[in-house]
Amino acid sequence: MNEHSTSLEQEIKRMVEVVNDRLAGYSPPLGSAAESLWRIFKRHSRGQISSPEENKIRLAINSALKDEREIFMGICWAFGGMSLSGYKFREPKVNLPRLGDLWGLFWLLILNEKIKRIHPPGLKLIIADEEPHHFFLGHLPTKVARRQRIMTAVAAQYTSFITLTALPAYQGVAKAITIPEPSDEEILSIVGCLPQDNIPSAAFSQLYQEREKDWSTIRDLIPAAKWQEAREIIIKMLQIGEARKREGFFPHLFGFQPYIDAAITEKSRWSPKAWGKTCPQHGGSLLRRGDNGQFSITITPESRLLAEGYQPIRLRGEEFGKLDPSLATDEEYTFYWLEP
């Protein structure tokens, strides 16, 4: 298998070109400013938005129009880490951004530029890294911090309307919150983020390849100790999520003004349609170009991409030193994949 290398400059240049191509000749939806902005959000959401969430989005839009300021949006995205599963990543211990992570920022840039065609102030977007989650899974704090700084450096240079921050652990508050027993599906989502160790490959096949999943069969394949570990982790994550809401993390940051409470995965809220079904924390970035030349990235477990003959494109960690010399590292890893 031939493996090729790329540079950070080359990949960022490509993404800038994609942004410009997608905005060339763009015509905003017809209608009032409020209705046109709602249609943009609806068009760029991965899933269905529930009626209560639609009302919140419309409220945030109307508030921004009335005050002639940015539309506020908050979203939690675990950009400081990723799954540690060797099924999902060839180099799970290399905690550095993949192409899909950077593309998420540029995709949001496209959204912001479309909004600005109707409402010049655009978006004010705060993305909170679910930092405590990484430590529960076993990531080293120093490596999480470096990945956060890389993403922050890219955002500062190309997407200045985005502020990256970290979610607090809410230690005292979170521990006191009683959480309903997590579902098997929630526990399995954590199993898929832990080091593979003694998890049978058949479990991953069921989880990530079978359309009709037999949850009881999958659970039976997971060792009891691993299941309990994942259960304890998801409970702590859910407690922090509930603490975030109770403590008003985003409302405080937005001065208690109406804002869009977005989600990185589908939860009946607005969710960015940047990568398809899941985010770059759960697999390799597969770069595709359609017949119309349209650039897209889908997220797929790297073990499957490797088995099916996709071509890995490598990046040297020293490339991040071009953003800031202190970010350089001697690690080399798979940055994204191309079709065979």
CA dihedral for 114, 115, 121, 123, sign (positive or negative): negative
Q: Is the pLDDT of residue 225 over 80?
A: yes
Q: Residue 318: which pLDDT band, with cuts at 50, 70 and 90?
A: very high
Q: How far apart are CA 90 and CA 284, in angstroms?
A: 9
Please state the pTM of the whole predicted model: 0.94
What pLDDT sits at residue 217? 81
Give the other-Cβ count within 10 Å of 206's Cβ: 19
Least confident piece of the model among 16-20, 117-121, 211-215, 314-318: 211-215
Q: Is the pLDDT of residue 272 over 70?
A: yes
190-200 residue pLDDT tens: 998 998 777 77
Q: Is the pLDDT of residue 110 over 70?
A: yes
Residues with Cβ within 8 Å of 287's Cβ and at least 6 positions away in sequence, in order, are 99, 295, 296, 297, 313, 336, 337, 338
Mean pLDDT of the chain: 93
Least confident piece of the model among 75-89, 96-110, 196-210, 279-293: 196-210
Domain chopping of the chain, boundaries: 4-180+244-338
Q: Is the pLDDT of residue 208 over 90?
A: no
Q: What order of strands is seen across the sheet that includes strand 295-300? A: 4-5, 311-316, 332-338, 284-289, 295-300
148-185 residue pLDDT tens: 999 999 999 999 999 999 999 998 899 999 999 999 88
Q: Where would I find the H helices in the chain?
A: 8-23, 33-43, 51-67, 99-118, 131-137, 141-158, 171-175, 184-191, 201-208, 215-221, 224-247, 249-253, 302-307
Q: Residue 247: which pLDDT band, with cuts at 50, 70 and 90?
A: very high
Is residue 162 helix, strand or coil? Answer: strand
Q: Is the pLDDT of residue 294 over 70?
A: yes
Q: Is the pLDDT of residue 241 over 80?
A: yes
Q: Is the pLDDT of residue 311 over 90?
A: yes
Q: What percent of the chain has pLDDT over 90?
A: 82
Q: How far apart are CA 285 and CA 208, in angstroms?
A: 15
* CA 227 vs CA 3, 53, 188, 199: distances in Å: 36, 33, 8, 10
Q: Residue 202: which pLDDT band, with cuts at 50, 70 and 90?
A: confident
What pLDDT sits at residue 268? 86
Mean pLDDT within 132-160: 97
Q: What percent of the chain has pLDDT over 70?
A: 96
Q: Which of the 8 DSSP states describes residue 48?
A: P
Which two tokens mark 28?
């905003």
Mean pLDDT within 293-320: 93
3-state secondary structure 271-340: CECCCCCCCHHHCEEEEEECCCCCEEEEEECHHHHHHCCCEEEEEEHHHHHHCCHHHCCCCEEEEEEECC
Residues with Cβ within 8 Å of 15's Cβ and at least 6 positions away in sequence, in order, are 102, 103, 106
* CA 104 vs CA 98, 187, 299, 327: distances in Å: 10, 26, 12, 20
Q: Is the pLDDT of residue 5 over 80?
A: yes
